[in-house]
């Protein structure tokens, strides 16, 4: 008998090697190389299968390609519609990732129910739970509908047969790490199985016009497990974020071929499942303590939506040789940079101070417009002076201490005025060219020192 050839594949990044190595050269992870059999050219499945017509093989002028505008399937969750770009696109393949217990299966089961009760056929396939377990979860959430079909199966061939029999509008695969193809010799969840199964579901989605949602596990680093190729193959990648011990969940699109990748959807986990948060700014600010030093409010843009969140800072003398810099919800490197600007340009002696920063509500902010609020929070805590509770701060801070212009200032100020804020400290360059809403005073500042004078009185 001919000896079977083997290879070693990294389960984190997909790096392949002819020999085992303790540390993967591709992603530098330890003990991630797993032995797999090499498939022969005649045995393995191709990535793209199905019949091909003469028309599809013939190049066409892009001006003569006909547009086929398919109507999106709108769900009852407006937050989900916003993240997807307006609704579910028939024939799309969507990957949903998130930490264990964050609510991925819950939101997809609620989505399946909403479509099923509107006369759409939905097939929910669970490779991790039996049909009785899925039924118990559906009873708890109150999501029972005649058009919602459930199946406990992990074999892709049987799953495809079930899809052909039912002809659903939406298919949910929970999860991609549990399904397998029989002619791929590696174990379920391996790089080869994940890649081949995703390719099979992509073919089903494109040829039959069925929208397929795939649940993906995440690694310790928070990225979706399996090769990076997995995220390139699908049409959309959604991340479900939030702390397991907090009730708020954020659905964020990091890739979307049918819409923007800057949108987020905010949900609250309750006993009956996930509920939409209509006005997230009120939720994030409802527990704010007025008159506390180190607390500021910033109007951050999440896609096309302005969200007001509280930034908290605690600055205290260090008891170590090197002061600590810790941040939750914002980049700690940005915090260190802003503290250096405060020390060099404003004269605050922060080199012997520990600094702890937090974005209330579990939100993660990564835009430069939050710089001014971070800097004022640090200065407020260091001086033990509170800012006015009706102030909102917006602006980017440069290394020379200047406050730079930010985008979409009008939407930010309108949101602040709607929530009852009386004063906004913004870059001087942003003043002019738009209408200031009634009931709010807008103050333009050119430098970080000017902003401190306005917010803290010098």
DSSP class of 429: G
Q: How many other β-carbons are positioned within 10 Å of the β-carbon of residue 445?
A: 22
| Structure confidence at residue 31 as a pLDDT band (50, 70, 90) | confident
pLDDT in tens, 159-176: 999 999 999 999 999 989
pLDDT surpassing 60 at residue 2: no
Higher pLDDT, 189 or 220: 189
Q: What is the overall mean pLDDT for the chain?
A: 87
Of residues 256 and 305, more confidence is placed in 256
329 is in an annotated binding site: no
Return the exposure string of 59-76: e unless at least 16 CB atoms fall within 10 Å of the residue's CB, then b: eeeeeeeeeeeeebbbbe
Query: Which pLDDT does position 47 carry in this prediction?
Result: 41
Does residue 101 have a known ligand-binding role?
yes
- Kindly state the tokens that stand for 452: 């401190």
When comparing pLDDT for 321 and 336, which is higher? 336
Q: Cα(first)–Cα(last) distance of the chain, in Å?
A: 85
Q: Does domain 72-278 have CATH number 3.40.50.300?
A: yes
pLDDT at 458: 54
pLDDT confidence tier of residue 26, bands split at 50, 70 and 90? confident
| Cα diameter, the chain | 85
Q: Select 283-456's CATH number: 2.40.30.10, 3.30.365.10, 3.10.105.10, 3.30.230.10.
A: 3.30.230.10
Q: How many Cβ atoms sit within 10 Å of the Cβ of residue 108?
A: 22
Q: With 80 as the cut, is the pLDDT of residue 246 above it?
A: no
Tell me what the mean pLDDT of segment 136-160 comes to. 94
- pLDDT (tens digit, 9 = 90+) per residue, 34-67? 887 776 544 444 444 444 444 456 788 988 887 7
Q: Is there a binding annotation on residue 99?
A: yes
How high is the pLDDT of residue 50? Answer: 46
Using 50, 70 and 90 to split pLDDT, how confident is the model at 375?
Answer: very high
Q: What is the mean pLDDT of residues 249-273?
A: 87
Strands 236-241 and 248-256: antiparallel
Chain centre distance of CA 184: 31
Percent of the chain with pLDDT over 90: 59
Whether 283-456 and 72-278 are alike in CATH topology: the answer is no
pLDDT at 153: 94
Q: Judge whether 377 is annotated as a binding position.
A: no
**Cα separation, 62 vs 51, whole angstroms:** 23
Residue 104 among known ligand-binding residues? yes
Sorting pLDDT into bands at 50, 70 and 90, what band is 99? confident
Is 102 assigned to a binding site? Answer: yes
Per-residue confidence (pLDDT) for residue 187, from 0 to 100? 81
> Residue 299: its pLDDT value, please?
95
Domain ranges across the chain: 6-37, 72-278, 283-456
What is d(CA 287, CA 280) in angstroms, rounded to the nearest whole number? Answer: 13
CA distance 402 to 449: 9
Would the annotation count 98 as a binding residue?
A: yes
Q: Which of 333, 346, 331 is nearest to 400 (CA)?
A: 346
Residue 420 annotated as lining a ligand binding site = no
């Amino acid at each position: 008998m001919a000896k079977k050839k083997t290879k070693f594949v990294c389960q984190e990044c997909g790096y392949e090697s002819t020999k085992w190595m303790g540390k993967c050269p591709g992603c530098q992870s330890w003990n991630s190389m797993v032995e797999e059999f090499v498939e022969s050219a005649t045995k393995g499945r191709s990535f793209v299968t199905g019949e091909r017509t003469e028309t599809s093989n013939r190049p066409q002028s892009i001006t003569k390609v006909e547009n086929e505008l398919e109507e999106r399937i709108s769900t009852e969750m407006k937050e989900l519609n916003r993240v997807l770009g307006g609704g579910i696109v028939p024939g799309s393949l969507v990957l949903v990732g998130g930490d264990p217990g964050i609510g991925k299966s819950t939101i997809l089961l609620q989505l399946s129910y909403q479509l099923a009760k509107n006369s759409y056929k939905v097939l929910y396939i669970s490779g991790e739970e039996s049909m009785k377990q899925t039924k118990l979860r559906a009873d708890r959430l109150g999501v029972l509908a005649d058009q919602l079909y459930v199946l406990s199966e992990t074999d892709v061939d049987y799953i495809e047969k079930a899809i052909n029999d039912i002809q659903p509008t939406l298919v949910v695969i929970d999860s991609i790490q549990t399904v397998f193809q029989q002619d791929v010799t590696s174990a379920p969840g391996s790089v080869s199985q994940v890649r081949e199964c995703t390719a099979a579901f992509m073919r089903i989605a494109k040829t039959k016009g069925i929208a397929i949602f795939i649940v993906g596990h995440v690694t310790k680093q928070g990225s979706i497990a399996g090769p990076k190729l997995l995220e390139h193959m699908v049409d959309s990648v959604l991340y479900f974020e939030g702390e397991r011990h907090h009730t708020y969940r954020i659905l964020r699109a990091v890739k979307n071929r049918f819409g923007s990748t800057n949108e987020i959807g905010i949900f609250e986990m309750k006993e009956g499942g996930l509920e939409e948060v209509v006005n997230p700014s009120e939720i994030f600010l409802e527990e704010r303590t007025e008159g506390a030093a180190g607390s500021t409010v910033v109007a951050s843009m999440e896609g096309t939506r302005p969200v007001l969140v509280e930034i908290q800072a605690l600055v205290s003398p260090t008891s170590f040789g090197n002061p600590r810099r810790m941040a939750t919800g914002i980049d700690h490197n940005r915090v260190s940079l802003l503290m250096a600007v405060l020390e060099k340009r404003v004269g605050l002696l922060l080199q012997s101070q520990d600094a702890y920063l937090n974005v209330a509500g579990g939100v993660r902010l990564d835009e430069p417009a939050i710089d001014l609020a971070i800097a004022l929070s640090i200065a407020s805590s260091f001086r033990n002076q509170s800012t006015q509770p009706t102030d909102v701060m917006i602006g980017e801070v440069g290394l020379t201490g200047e406050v730079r212009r930010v985008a979409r200032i009008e939407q930010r100020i309108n949101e602040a005025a709607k929530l009852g804020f009386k004063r906004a400290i913004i870059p001087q360059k942003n003043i002019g060219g738009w209408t200031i809403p009634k009931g709010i005073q807008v103050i333009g500042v050119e430098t970080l020192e000017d902003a401190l004078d306005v917010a803290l009185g010098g």
